[in-house]
Structure 1
Amino acid sequence: MTGSEAPLSFRLAFVPGATPGKWVRTWEERLPDVPLALVPVTAEEAPGALRAGEADAGIVRLPVDRTVFSAIPLYTEATVVVVPKDHLLTAADEVSVDDLADDVVFHPLDDVLGWERLPGRPAVERPATTADAVELVAAGVGVLVVPQSLARLHHRKDLTYRTVTDAPRSSVALSWPEDAHTDLVEDFIGIVRGRTVNSTRGRQRPEEGGQQKQGTQTPARRKPAPAKNPRARTGGQNAGGKGGAKASGRSGARGKPRRRS
C-alpha cells in the first residue's frame, strides 16, 4: 500500500443509480474518526474523477480501463423498458427486444448499456440525458431502455417499467486507481466484501499488532513436583523396624490405665 498517512476524510464517488448507503453506515460505525464524503459523478465522469484524485474510490459502471484501475464487480442489474402506465407493453410482466420493434426507443447521450444494435425505431434526436429521455417518455413520444436502478431513480407516478429479458445489462463495481491503493481504500474494500471487524484479511488494526489472537491461550507451565519429605520416606522404609515401632507407639491407641493398689 502506498499511503503512509491517512487523509482527513475518505472520498467515495458514485454514479447515478448506485446506492452506497449501507456501506457508508458501516464505515461510520467502524471508522467514526474518518468522515466519508460522497462525490456524485456521471458514469462518463467517474474515470476522470478517480484519475484526477477527486475521489479515493468510486462505485462505477463497468467496463473500466484495467491498465489504470482496479475493480471489484459488485452486481449486475436487470434491464427494463420505461413506458407510460397505459402502454400496451404493460400487459406482460416481461418483454423482449423484438417487442419494442414498433416503438420509438430513445438512446440518450449518457446511455450505459452499450448496444451493438439499437432496438425499435430511432428518435429524431438523441436526448442529452436519461432524465430528458424520461420526460419524453412521459409525453408519450417513445420508450426508454435503462438499468433498473435508473428507472427507479427517475420514477414518476405516470410511468412504469417492465424487464427486457434479452437486452444488454450493466454491471456496477468498486474501482480505484491501481497506484493509489491506500489503507483507507482497503478498509472500504473490506466493508464492501462483508468482512467483519476481526477479520484477518486486509490491513491489521493498531490494537491487534503484537498482541495474542483472541481465543488462543498460552500453554500453562508445569508446576514443579513437591519435594519429598526424607523423614516420611525413612519412616516408611523402616516401618517394621525400631523407628517404626516408636512411631506406632506414639501414634497408636493407648491401653487401659493400671489400677493403683
Structure 2
Amino acid sequence: MSWPRSQLLEIGEKSWCPSWLQRHEQLALTKFWSLRIPGWSHESPATQACAVMKKYLSDLSSYKIRDICAGAGGPSPVMEVELNKQLEREGKEPVQFILSDLYPHEEEWARISKKQGNVSYIAEPIDARAVPAVESTSRRECRVLNLCFHHFSDEDAGSILKNAIEFADAFIIFEMSARDIWTCLFSFLMVFWTCFVTVVWYWHSPIHLFYTFIIPVAPIAIGLDGFISCLRTRTFEETRKLLDQPGLDLSGWRFHSGKRTVQFPFIVLYYYVGIKSD
C-alpha cells in the first residue's frame, strides 16, 4: 500500500446510473464469486470465503449469517451453496443466511429464497449503521459485508462496526480490491469479464449487447468502478482503527485479518474478522 485512501464514488452509485447498468455490474460481481479456472485458480472466491468462515467461526452451524448490504443478492447465495455442501459432507446442520439492505430487492430475494431454503430475507429497509439484533433465536449472528465496506465513509463505516460490536456475535468483511499495483491492473481485466457476462447471461438483451459490443459503456464503466474500488479500500490497520471509538467496549472480542490467493497474482480475497468470545 503506497498511497492514501480516496473516498471516491463509483459510477454504479451515481443517481444517474441506469438501472440496467447497475444490474449488469451486480451480476458480473455475483458470477465472479463462482469463477474457477482449472490449473490456475486456488478454488473460487466463494470457496475461499467459506474457508475463512470455517476457520474462525467455531460450530458454524450455530450461526445465522446476515448479509447486511445484500443488494440484489450478491455472493451470499453462492456462499450458502458452497458452505452447506461442505457441512452436509461433514454431517452437520446447514448454516442459515439472511439478506437485508437499506434498499431491499424483495423480488430478487424472494426468487433466491424459493430456490434455496437456507436463505431468507428481511423485506423492510435496514440501515447497515443501525441493524437491530436478530429476533430471539438459539443461533448466534455473524454479519458479513461482501465487497462493499470500501463504499462507506469513515464515519459510516465506524457506525457499522460499532453496531456489530453492540448487537452481533461476529462480523466478517470481505474485499477483493486493494491499494496495490497488481489489484489495480486486474480491475481493467473486468472489461473482458463483463463481455463474457453479456454473452452468457445477457445474450437475449439488445440493450446489454449494444452497450457492450457496439458502444462499450458497460465494460468501461465496470472496469473503472473496479479501479475506483481499489483506491477506496482500507488496509487492515485502517479498518482496525475504526474500532477505536469512545465508550465502545471491545473486551471479549478477538480480531483477525489476512488474505487468501484465488488466482495469482491478480485475484486475492482479503478479510477482516471480529469474533465475540464464548
Q: How does the TM-score come out when normalised to structure 2?
A: 0.29
The structure where strand makes up a greater share of residues is 1
Q: How does the TM-score come out when normalised to structure 1?
A: 0.31
The structure with more radius of gyration: 1
The structure where helix makes up a greater share of residues is 2
